[in-house]
Amino acid sequence: MHQSLFFKLFPPPKFLLMPHVGIDISDDAISFIEYSRPVGDRTITKHGTVNLDVGIIEGGDIKDEAKLLEILSTIVRDNNLLYAKLSIPEEKAYLFETEIPYGDLKLISQNIEFKLEENIPLSAADVIFTFDLLPNEHNKPWRASVFAVPRTYIEHMVEMFRKVGIIPVAFETAPRAIARVVSGLGQGNVIVIHVLHRKTGVYVITDNAVGFTSTISIGYSEANIGLYTDSLATEIHRVCSFWLNQNQDEFSAIHKVVVVGHDAENVVLNLRDKVSDTVSVEVIDVWHSVLDMTKYVPPIDRDGSFEYAPAAGLAL
């Protein structure tokens, strides 16, 4: 991922080379992971999850900031946290694709900045954006996948975290953080299902870049697993059709769905028979692109790891 305007506010060099914790804040919970080092043979040095009561965060909006700050203060104090990369809920970000000129990253960033107001209902001065270069097919224009976030939202989050003693080194959308742990699945298009108790994220990852996101107000529970997976299968079919129609080439078909989040194994078992036979449905090994499992056994077991996917990507 390439970040432009954010680094004009907060220059990164030393921060991103030192250990930082990845903190994911969803409607459901606060999860965090810190690794022993940013690259190489990592181990997990800190981790934890604190569930959030209904009403503290709804649809990515902080409804009870005082309570959230109280919980964050306890997490920071008990775990001695300082530097952090923080998640942005997908509801707070605008995502669009655009053609870009062939050139260096500075030229590409400037080109995207000029096009922001054509694609989102905010001025360029009022947003902070990041982008990924999308796979380039022969004889087709270069394209980028762009996330743009209101500047006021980022500035508010920076201030809020500083109140509890956290120094933000970067922000990343939850879908992009999950895409980091999905990397290595191979080339092509993958749908990621992010299972939460009060909503579900559906993302298309194309060669490790986020190409599409949607959030549906279908929450998971064991009691409604049948209805939940019926609705999820309908959404998967809709997204597959939309993606194929939008791109209209032989490279646009989606043949794999991967699931992370709450009770991912059970969701997969109930979902497999409800999607097309041409689409495989599986859980993802969260640690496969993060840790060397031949040398290290993490303190988070396989079932628990599914809920740590965003934080695991943020901590990289």
Global pTM reads 0.89
What integer is the mean pLDDT of 147-173?
A: 95
Which domains does the chain possess? 184-288 (3.30.420.40)
70 pairs with which residues across the strands?
A: none
Give yes or no for residue 4 having a pLDDT over 60. no
Give yes or no for residue 81 having a pLDDT over 50. yes
> Quick one: tokens of 234?
């309908």
**pLDDT for the residue 276:** 85
Residue 147 · residue 130 · CB < 8 Å: yes
The closest of 12, 3, 5 to 125, measured between CA atoms, is 5
CB-based contacts of 208, cutoff 8 Å, min separation 6:
132, 179, 180, 182, 183
Residue 145 has phi, psi (to 5 degrees) of -100, 120
Structure confidence by residue, pLDDT tens digits, 13-64: 554 556 799 999 999 999 999 999 877 789 999 999 999 999 999 999 999 9
Using the Cα atoms of residue 311, residue 256, residue 139 and residue 241 in order, give the sign of their dihedral.
Answer: negative
Structure confidence by residue, pLDDT tens digits, 289-309: 889 888 899 999 999 999 999
The closest of 23, 272, 31, 43 to 170, measured between CA atoms, is 23
Using 50, 70 and 90 to split pLDDT, how confident is the model at 9?
A: very low
Using 50, 70 and 90 to split pLDDT, how confident is the model at 7?
A: very low
Tell me what percent of the residues of the chain surpass a pLDDT of 90: 65
Q: Pick the range with the lowest mean pLDDT from 51-65, 162-176, 274-288.
A: 274-288
Give whichever of 15-24, 68-77, 252-261 has the largest mean pLDDT: 68-77
Residue 133 · residue 97 · CB < 8 Å: no
Nearest-angstrom CA–CA distance, 168 and 82: 8
CA distances from 101 to 50, 85, 95, 124, 139 (A): 44, 30, 19, 19, 14
**pLDDT for the residue 141:** 77
Give yes or no for residue 8 having a pLDDT over 70. no
Using 50, 70 and 90 to split pLDDT, how confident is the model at 246?
A: confident
Nearest-angstrom CA–CA distance, 51 and 87: 16
**pLDDT for the residue 249:** 61
β-pairing verdict for 83-88 and 21-25? parallel
What is the pLDDT of the chain when averaged over all its residues? 88
Nearest-angstrom CA–CA distance, 258 and 256: 7
CA atoms within 13 A on the CB side of 286: 27
CA distances from 22 to 19, 117, 213 (A): 10, 31, 21
**pLDDT for the residue 248:** 63
Using 50, 70 and 90 to split pLDDT, how confident is the model at 5?
A: very low
Using 50, 70 and 90 to split pLDDT, how confident is the model at 186?
A: low
Crossing angle for the helix pair 151-163 and 65-79, nearest 10 degrees? 50
